[in-house]
C-alpha cells in the first residue's frame, strides 16, 4: 500500500498525528509498508495513547516517530520549546567528555545570545546554555566565542557563580583545567541589576557542566 499525503507545511495532519514545519513550502509524504527491526526485534510505533503511527518517506529518506523509536531503545526524549528556540534531547548519557553534577528535567534550553539580548525574559529561570568557559580565582565566566574568551570581552559573557558549589560534586580548583573549552551549563539565570556597563547577568545554583569540545 502506498498512501500519499499532500500538505502545506505548518498544517497539523490529524490523520497521521504529526506536525510539519517549514517556511512557505509544501511536501508530498508517502506512507510506507515498512517493517523496522532493531537487531532481531520488530519495532511498532505508537503515540502516547497507543494509536499506531506510520513510517513515512520523503525524497527517498525514511522517517520514523522519534519519541516512540527512542523509548523502545530505552532512551528518554525531552522536548523544550521557548519563544526563541526548540530543542530535542535524546538520552541522558554524555556524548562528549567530562561531565559534573546532574541534569535537571525541567530546564529551558536557550542560547547565550538570548540571555545577553533579553535578560528580563530569562530572569530567575533555570536554563541550559553553551559557550566557552573561564574558571579563575574570581573570574568565572561563560563567553559567547573563543575570541571573546581570548580577549576577555565580558559584554559577550555571563558570570558563573561556581564558588562553593556543592551540586557539581567537585572543587573549583579541579574545574580550572576547563578554561577555554566549549561546555554546556545548567543553572538559574539572574539578570544584572547593579552595573549597566557589566555583564547581562549570571548563572547561579549551577547543577551541571558538560565538556562538549575544545
| Model pLDDT for residues 183-208, shown as the tens digit of each residue | 999 999 999 887 766 788 999 989 88
More confident residue, 121 or 166: 121
Specify the higher pLDDT residue, 64 or 91: 64
Largest CA distance in the chain: 66
List pLDDT tens digits, range 11-29: 233 333 343 444 455 567 7
Name the residue with higher pLDDT: 89 or 30: 30
- Kindly report the number of other CB atoms within 10 A of residue 180's CB atom: 14
Question: Can you say how many angstroms the Cα of residue 165 is from the centroid of all Cα atoms in its chain?
Answer: 23
Note the pLDDT of residue 94: 43
Residue 21, SS3? coil
Q: Cell numbers of 57, please?
A: 518517506
3-state secondary structure 183-201: EEEEEEEEECCCCCCCCCE
Average pLDDT, the chain: 76
Give the model's pLDDT for residue 27: 62
Per-residue pLDDT band for 67 (boundaries 50, 70, 90) equals confident
Domain range annotation of the chain = 3-72, 83-213
Mean pLDDT over 54-82 rounds to: 73
CB of 105 closer than 8 Å to CB of 177: no
pLDDT tens for 99-120 read 777 777 788 989 999 999 999 9
pTM of this structure: 0.55
Q: In the predicted model, is pLDDT for residue 175 greater than 90? A: no
In this prediction, residues 127-140 reach a mean pLDDT of 89
Beta bridge partners of 202: 159, 190
**Is 83-213 a domain of CATH 2.40.50.140?**
yes
Q: What is the DSSP string of 46-114?
A: B-TTS-B--EEEETTEEE--HHHHHHHTT--EEEEE-SS-EEEEE-SS-SSS-EEE---SS-EE--HHH
pLDDT (0 to 100) of residue 165: 61
Mean pLDDT along residues 61-67: 80
What burial class does residue 42 get, using C-beta atoms within 10 Å of its C-beta: 0-12 exposed, 13-18 middle, 19+ buried?
Answer: exposed
Amino acid at each position: 500500500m502506498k498512501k500519499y499525503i499532500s500538505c502545506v507545511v505548518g498544517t497539523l495532519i490529524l490523520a497521521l498525528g504529526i506536525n510539519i514545519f517549514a517556511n512557505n513550502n509544501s511536501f508530498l509524504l508517502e506512507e510506507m509498508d515498512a517493517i523496522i527491526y532493531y537487531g532481531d526485534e520488530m519495532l511498532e510505533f505508537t503515540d502516547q495513547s497507543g494509536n499506531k503511527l506510520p513510517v513515512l518517506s520523503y525524497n527517498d529518506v525514511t522517517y520514523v516517530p522519534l519519541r516512540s523509536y527512542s523509548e523502545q531503545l530505552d532512551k528518554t526524549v525531552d522536548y523544550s520549546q521557548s519563544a526563541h528556540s526548540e530543542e530535542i534531547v535524546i538520552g541522558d548519557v554524555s556524548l562528549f567528555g567530562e561531565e559534573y553534577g546532574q541534569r535537571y528535567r525541567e530546564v529551558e534550553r536557550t542560547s547565550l545570545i538570548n540571555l545577553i539580548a533579553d535578560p528580563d525574559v530569562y530572569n530567575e529561570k533555570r536554563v541550559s546554555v553553551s559557550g566557552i568557559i573561564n574558571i579563575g580565582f574570581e573570574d568565572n565566566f561563560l563567553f559567547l566565542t573563543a575570541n571573546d574568551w581570548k580577549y576577555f570581552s565580558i559584554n559577550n559573557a555571563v558570570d558563573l557563580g561556581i564558588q562553593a558549589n556543592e551540586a557539581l560534586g567537585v572543587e573549583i580548583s579541579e574545574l580550572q583545567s576547563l578554561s577555554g573549552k566549549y561546555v554546556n551549563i545548567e543553572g538559574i539565570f539572574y539578570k544584572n541589576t547593579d552595573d549597566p556597563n557589566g555583564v547581562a547577568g549570571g548563572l547561579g545554583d549551577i547543577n551541571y557542566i558538560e565538556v562538549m569540545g575544545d
